[in-house]
Structure 1
């Protein structure tokens, strides 16, 4: 399994918007449920969900992510929340241990083989009638203005960093329902929402700062692997700076959502 890359700007984004990321799943949850958040990262989403269910467990393969999640749980004194360092393709739980499993921004990074194993494990640990919810990206739905070449290049560099095996991965979001159905689940709801990086001057400034931090963080890795040139990285940085100077700039990032049931 390819390691999930916890870029610092992505982790910070998850901390800021944890509750928003799971809003679509909230109507399906009840107070008696036991929920698993697979690929939980710093645990912000798991913590938000813990307030709605009897027990929430987060798993992540990255030790630093689990350490951050444990600190969050301790700081918020959430007694029904726990985190486990584990591979989502080999979960350390008994069969039918959970009422719900949640995947956020995890599955579209994976190869077909890893995706199949992860969904098989989710199905194994779900109780009959249990729910699986997925929320993932789809570049075809992003809204950007002004359409600056440097910003488009920056988004492309981010995709190169993940080195997707499947060219369709960038439009994974719209295919979630069919993918879950193909792996033995019955979709019961689909939808989409947007992450707004341009609500006001402050959010635009934060978007530019996050983009710069991310580009400067993974840029050296792209250079070492021959996946980008220094000129491309500088063009991408300049593009975000130009976007941030436009008071009417918008960037709405599409996230597709699906809820399905284990029959």
Structure 2
């Protein structure tokens, strides 16, 4: 398989966003299934904020966070240690070749991971391999083409066009949310509980936070680097996109909705 490219990269403007995610706002569909003592693997754990929440809920059961980036794992370990979560550990790894025996975990979880992969079906099969019989594989992914915003902002439309080209240029699927069910069926799952949930940015504080994040990501993260390397935008164009995000945030009627697909898959 060709080398994977993570479309978002690991600039602090990206990791800082991931670091404020919680199990409550990112894995609500999974939480009713969890119980103390369960073992859990969190694939693509990033800086570990969701992983730590899950570890608190399933303690004393062992929770392993896995990511391809050693840099973010340092942050994840520090967070778990600071919260006194002795049952949480973090390792570098590859979702296509998980370094665990068959039937190891009660739950295998992946949040916003499949959208970045060249072969999400193979990843789901590997996640199922390490889940115990009757255990759960839980996945949640955004659907970029399903995102809606108001007021109409040409720079945000251009941002979306460029993001789609970047992700697809990396052989990824930015509209993963709508594909999850098809991928799960192809991977061989038969007991499937689908659901969806949204992120909404509509208060002044939420709009400011979301716009500040994407303004920085447009200019400094892998988004901007790939856009320029592939001739999708120049530096001036990226500055215009960043300003467009701030213009959208300043509108008192500003609204940005991100839909996410979710699946609970019985192994």
Q: Same fold (TM over 0.5)?
A: yes
Written as runs of structure 1 = structure 2, the 5 A alignment for 1:126-141 is 126-141=131-146
* Pairing partner for 1:76 from 83, 89, 99: 83
Q: TM-score under structure 1 normalisation?
A: 0.91
**Residue 125 (1) aligns with residue 130 (2):** yes
Corresponding position of 1:104? 111
Contact 2:73 2:92 in 1 (8 A): yes
2:197 to 183, 193, 196: 193
The one of 202, 205, 208 equivalent to 1:202 is: 205
CA drift of 1:170 comes to 2.8
Show the counterpart of 2:70.
63
Number of the residue aligned with 1:14: 18
Which residues in structure 2 correspond to 1:23-172 (within 5 Å)?
A: 23-53=28-58, 54-112=61-119, 115-166=120-171, 169-172=173-176
1:225 aligns with 2:233: no
Q: Deviations over 1:194-213 (max 9, x none)?
A: 11222x21111111210111
Say whether the 8 Å CA contact 1:111–1:164 is kept in structure 2. no
Alpha-carbon distance in 1 for matches of 2:169, 2:112: 14
| Residue 252 (str. 1) matches residue 257 (str. 2) | yes
- Given that 2:93 and 2:99 are in contact with CA atoms closer than 8 Å, whether structure 1 keeps it comes out as yes
8 Å Cα contact 2:212/2:246 also seen in 1? no
Give me the whole-angstrom Cα distance separating, in 1, the residues matched to 2:160 and 2:30: 27
Deviation at 1:161, TM superposition (A): 3.7
Residue 109 of structure 1 contacts residue 164 of structure 1 at CA under 8 Å; is this kept in 2? no
Report the Cα offset of residue 165 of structure 1: 5.0
Structure 1: give runs of 5+ residues left out of the alignment: none
Taking a change above 3 Å as real, the CA distance of residues 123 and 65 of structure 1, as seen in their structure-2 partners, is same
Structure 1 contact 142–253 (Cα < 8 Å) conserved: yes
Q: Distance in 2 between matches of 1:93 and 1:77?
A: 25
CA RMSD of superposed structures (Å): 1.8
**TM-score, scaled relative to structure 2:** 0.90
User: Which runs of 5 or more structure 2 residues have no equivalent in the other structure?
Assistant: none
